[in-house]
Chains A and B, each alone.
Chain A
């Protein structure tokens, strides 16, 4: 599903104009990524939590050359479903 389809679904729910929806989406994404970059988390009740995960440095081996590497630590964005959403996923049996 493309973003446009998603936005039109949002539009039909809210009744907002295409321009406003698009603008708000961009702003929302911007705010959210700003929060994540700053190391903060955003919890949407009933949906889940957007947060930052720190991955420690680790050793890795190139399978071809057998050479070992030290992979530096990094930070990655992550999403964790909340309780309500989890429950719903648990009961979801596919889309047939």
Chain B
């Protein structure tokens, strides 16, 4: 990670691949020189597995001198463009390949926009204590809890941890600001919650009663939740704010689990026959295993169900954990069946809520 190689390292690698050093040197030199030559001849140079190089004309435009604020004219000029091939892009993006775009509702989008404002307002936000409830972080939560595994570098891990920490701190600030500004809006928050809940109910058909109960409970626990920035935000932050320890969490967690269980109805992966057992290596997570065995990452929920005794929190899985891979009946796990995917997604949502507070 972050090594800066030069031409001679490339040559060394070619030598290692079994070429004479003199050949490798000459080849590497000529290779790049030729790209340059051909490009200046006006050609587009395509190299399989890498991409294409070409010179493109960039038209004249006006710009502003950042120091003086003066308007300056930039003449038309050529630019060397490198367009990586799709294969290379994919290869390079492997650590993030499991992330998909997440559709947002308006509330969430507004909250995120607010967060960006807060960044410019108060850059010193990271001095705030760590009790900040995860308000907007959950967007990529399940995946990002272990984002750095693929590189074995600690450095990246630290950076990610740092980023998450800053996000949390920002969340607290936004939250604090909002609560001072909108104190008195308390009732609104309570009113918002059941509405939001209803959406979930449609997704999780089996559990209206538990849902309601939970909604009431969390609303009461959340005197400070004036601004429900995110649909799920309130029930996460309620327990976390009351007592930041896990002692408070189980209540919500349990209800969430009930929801999940009810949604699963007959589906309980822990009763499925175990097909095999694997040990998770560095960088593996349930979603990847699910993708591999079941054909879609959303089925990680069944892996979790089958391994609840070994995985206290699916967001935090340590390398070396042994997990059971149950044999999944085709009626439940079928990546081609939208109903099956939907069901798993509903479960996923429930688990997300359940564990969001224990980040």
Residues of A within 8 A of B (CB): 1-3, 5-6, 9-10, 13-14, 16, 20-21, 24-33, 35-45, 47-48, 52, 57, 59-60, 67-79, 81, 85, 88-90, 92, 94-95
Contact A1 B23, beta carbon cutoff 8 Å: no
**Residue of A at shortest CB range from B116?**
A59
Q: Which of A25, A72, A81 contacts B47 (CB under 8 A)? A: A25
Cross-chain pair count, CB within 8 angstroms: 186
Q: Which of B32, B49, B92, B109 contacts A37 (CB under 8 A)? A: B92
Number of interface residues of B (CB under 8 A): 70
B113: A residues at CB distance < 8 A: 59
A73 to chain B, nearest CB (A): 6
Q: Which of B9, B40, B100 contacts A42 (CB under 8 A)? A: B9
**Residues of A contacting B: mostly:** mixed
A77: B residues at CB distance < 8 A: 51, 84, 88-89, 92
Contact B1 A40, beta carbon cutoff 8 Å: yes
Q: Which of B38, B49, B89, B92 contacts A9 (CB under 8 A)? A: B38
A13: B residues at CB distance < 8 A: 30, 33-34
A68 to B77, CA, bound (A): 36
- Contact residues of B between 1 and 25, Cβ < 8 Å to A: 1-7, 9-10, 13-14, 17, 19, 23-24
* Given A13-B34, A45-B6, A68-B109, 10 extra CB contacts under 8 A: A1-B44, A10-B30, A14-B30, A26-B49, A44-B6, A72-B140, A74-B99, A77-B84, A77-B92, A94-B57
B92: A residues at CB distance < 8 A: 33, 36-37, 52, 75-77
Q: Which of B24, B45, B82 contacts A6 (CB under 8 A)? A: B45
A96 to chain B, nearest CB (A): 9
Q: Which of B31, B33, B96 contacts A74 (CB under 8 A)? A: B96
Contact A75 B50, beta carbon cutoff 8 Å: no
Residues of B within 8 A of A (CB): 1-7, 9-10, 13-14, 17, 19, 23-24, 26-28, 30-38, 40-51, 53, 55, 57, 77-80, 82, 84, 88-89, 91-96, 99-104, 106, 109, 112-113, 139-140, 143, 151
A30: B residues at CB distance < 8 A: 49
A91 to B181, CA, bound (A): 58
A44 to chain B, nearest CB (A): 5
B88: A residues at CB distance < 8 A: 33, 36, 77
A40: B residues at CB distance < 8 A: 1-5
Q: Which residue among A25, A40, A44 has the maximum number of chain B CB atoms within 10 Å of its CB?
A: A44
A39 to chain B, nearest CB (A): 4
Contact B48 A72, beta carbon cutoff 8 Å: no
B1: A residues at CB distance < 8 A: 38-40
Contact A75 B93, beta carbon cutoff 8 Å: yes
Contact A20 B34, beta carbon cutoff 8 Å: no
Q: Which of A20, A31, A89 contacts B13 (CB under 8 A)? A: A31
Contact A41 B4, beta carbon cutoff 8 Å: yes
Given A28-B14, A42-B10, residue A67 in contact with residue B84 (CB < 8 A): no
